[in-house]
Structure 1
């Protein structure tokens, strides 16, 4: 297998926002969200999801315009089509749209659909636009620009209409834990920080014209984010504290000072390592967020309580949901949250 990178591009602000919405859509709303670990920026396409072993890929093209016509939508499909005829077998081809004209959909209430929800006249214009764009691109071989191939490709495309605010996409990261939900101004700041990190991946190096031999080779160019990075960023912004920051939270000092002097450094490192494992254990993500919500609520309700008092008020079933943490690392993390809230 070989794959040559072509048509990478720089982002406009509107394009950057659309791509970040698309990333958070893949991370939280797409049916395969739990399987997507990497989000590769501007390599195969605007955005490509990849599983942890780099064997399964979800390809996505985004268009931020709010009123796209059928023909312009067809033109936007060209990079997805390039990947459809490549040697890579992508699991999905997704076009993420800021909006469409009223002439496009049969049922305007559907925001995720295939060609079954596209009006006949609109579909004809879409195909016309795609064929025109294919002829304008040197990376699409002429022998592939055939109506049967194009129709087969379009039957595999999922069209997503973006009708959510940027804050809604960030809110979805926190999921079912309303007590953790910050104000919209914080959610917007988190979205902007994710957007900036995503955009910065385009400036790491120039990949135009690079040929890779396997899909995992794409990761070598470091143009990706992971769902763990985004979860951690969100958590730290809520707390106003770096979870992985070196140092000892003031609330943990009393416990820390009880450790024998020669063991203090090792015990601290162990607590930090356990917290890292808990943060990045996708299999126990719900348990971790439930634990986080519980201690967050307890600290808000009882700000004067010590770390140990807070720990004793957490139900056993919540503690059991975080198998990567032991007593000291539970208390260490409680200290971090307490420090962040009370800054």
Structure 2
């Protein structure tokens, strides 16, 4: 079976706030967030989440307008419906919107809901909007626009109403374990960086009319980000330093110079790999941020202490919480944060 890209927004110059919010919603707030590894931009839809081995997909259409009517919501569902009737299987179909009119929801306090929270009269309008839009698109066969399929589809759609500021979405990446979370303007600046990277993915070579026979082939066109890349960007801004740059952190040099000459290169590489594994290990995400938080705060509290001394100040339970680190790689991690903070000062 073949999937053909048929609705790429190739003429758009930048990703809207709504699209980046949708990405960060999927990364941090969706019930399957821990399983999403790739964020594929403007290929299957505005955004599609994918697990590490391209076995599962989460599809998102985003719309930034604040007062969407039922019929407008229906029209916005068309690309999700296109994917619903394709041969691919999606775990979730999500419509992420800036807001809805007062005529839409039964319980207006719910910002994440399904079709059963939409008023009966509004459901009819929503369905009308979807059918009209689907009939106007050449990429949906009219034979697929039938009531039982539409009803089945609508029962699976998750509606998400944006109720957060850009800074809140970035703050969710670092959870609540960092005592010194940046100010809101800094968080918004990070959000804008993520938005720019997302936009740049949209402005790569056009993918309109490209056909693939398996979902993993979508990655060949490199219109994707990973959760790890986004976390690395955020940590880099927190410590004002790329945590994976090639040079040895200055606070680590005394330890590095004690290595035998023949072991130096491999030892440094092992430290970087351990840091990478710890950062991207979703099974220990909570423990990683606890470690980062404690390390960050100890360095702020004792700026004149060296890496060895900071290592000894960390709680044993905190150090053991991240199994990807051993003694040397944890000291490298401390040195990277210490150098970044000194550089910031």
TM-score of the pair, normalised by structure 1: 0.97
Any conservation in 1 of the 2:13–2:199 contact (CA below 8 Å)?
A: no
Choose 229-238 or 179-188, whichever is displaced more: 179-188
How far apart in 1 are the matches of 2:148 and 2:273?
54
Q: How many residues align structurally?
A: 342
How far apart in 2 are the matches of 1:60 and 1:203?
19
Tell me the equivalent position of 2:226.
Answer: 226
Q: CA deviation at 1:30?
A: 0.4
Choose 78-87 or 245-254, whichever is displaced more: 245-254
Any conservation in 1 of the 2:178–2:290 contact (CA below 8 Å)?
A: no
Q: CA deviation at 1:42?
A: 0.6
Q: CA deviation at 1:178?
A: 3.3
SS of match in other structure, 1:87:
coil
How far apart in 1 are the matches of 2:107 and 2:143?
35
How far apart in 1 are the matches of 2:13 and 2:272?
39
Any conservation in 2 of the 1:80–1:93 contact (CA below 8 Å)?
A: yes
Any conservation in 2 of the 1:174–1:180 contact (CA below 8 Å)?
A: no
Any conservation in 2 of the 1:2–1:213 contact (CA below 8 Å)?
A: yes
Choose 122-131 or 280-289, whichever is displaced more: 280-289
SS of match in other structure, 2:172:
helix
Residues 8-27 of structure 1 aligned to structure 2 (within 5 Å): 8-9=8-9, 10-11=11-12, 16-27=16-27
- In the TM superposition, what whole-angstrom CA distance separates every residue of 1:167-188 from its partner, at most 9, and x where no partner exists? 0000000013131411112111
Matched, 1:70 2:83: no
Matched, 1:35 2:38: no
Runs of 4+ in 1 over 4 A off after TM superposition: none
Matched, 1:155 2:124: no
How far apart in 2 are the matches of 1:147 and 1:259?
70
How far apart in 1 are the matches of 2:261 and 2:144?
70
- In the TM superposition, what whole-angstrom CA distance separates every residue of 1:74-104 from its partner, at most 9, and x where no partner exists? 1100001111111011111110010011111
Q: CA deviation at 1:113?
A: 0.6
Q: Give the gaps of 5 or more residues in structure 2.
A: none
How far apart in 2 are the matches of 1:276 and 1:142?
49
SS of match in other structure, 2:225:
strand
Tell me the equivalent position of 1:57.
Answer: 57
Q: CA deviation at 1:316?
A: 1.3
Residues 87-126 of structure 1 aligned to structure 2 (within 5 Å): 87-126=87-126
Tell me the equivalent position of 1:213.
Answer: 213
SS of match in other structure, 2:159:
strand
Matched, 1:325 2:321: no
How far apart in 2 are the matches of 1:226 and 1:134?
31
Q: CA RMSD in A?
A: 1.3
Tell me the equivalent position of 1:308.
Answer: 308
Tell me the equivalent position of 1:340.
Answer: 340
SS of match in other structure, 2:273:
helix
Tell me the equivalent position of 1:169.
Answer: 169
SS of match in other structure, 2:87:
coil
SS of match in other structure, 2:110:
coil
Q: CA deviation at 1:265?
A: 2.5
Tell me the equivalent position of 2:182.
Answer: 182
How far apart in 2 are the matches of 1:314 and 1:43?
45
SS of match in other structure, 1:133:
helix
Q: CA deviation at 1:16?
A: 1.9
Tell me the equivalent position of 2:141.
Answer: 141
How far apart in 2 are the matches of 1:18 and 1:185?
18
Q: CA deviation at 1:286?
A: 1.8
Q: CA deviation at 1:147?
A: 2.1
TM-score of the pair, normalised by structure 2: 0.96
How far apart in 2 are the matches of 1:274 and 1:113?
40
How far apart in 1 are the matches of 2:112 and 2:197?
27
Q: CA deviation at 1:223?
A: 0.7
Any conservation in 1 of the 2:178–2:292 contact (CA below 8 Å)?
A: no
Any conservation in 1 of the 2:65–2:97 contact (CA below 8 Å)?
A: yes
How far apart in 2 are the matches of 1:218 and 1:336?
35
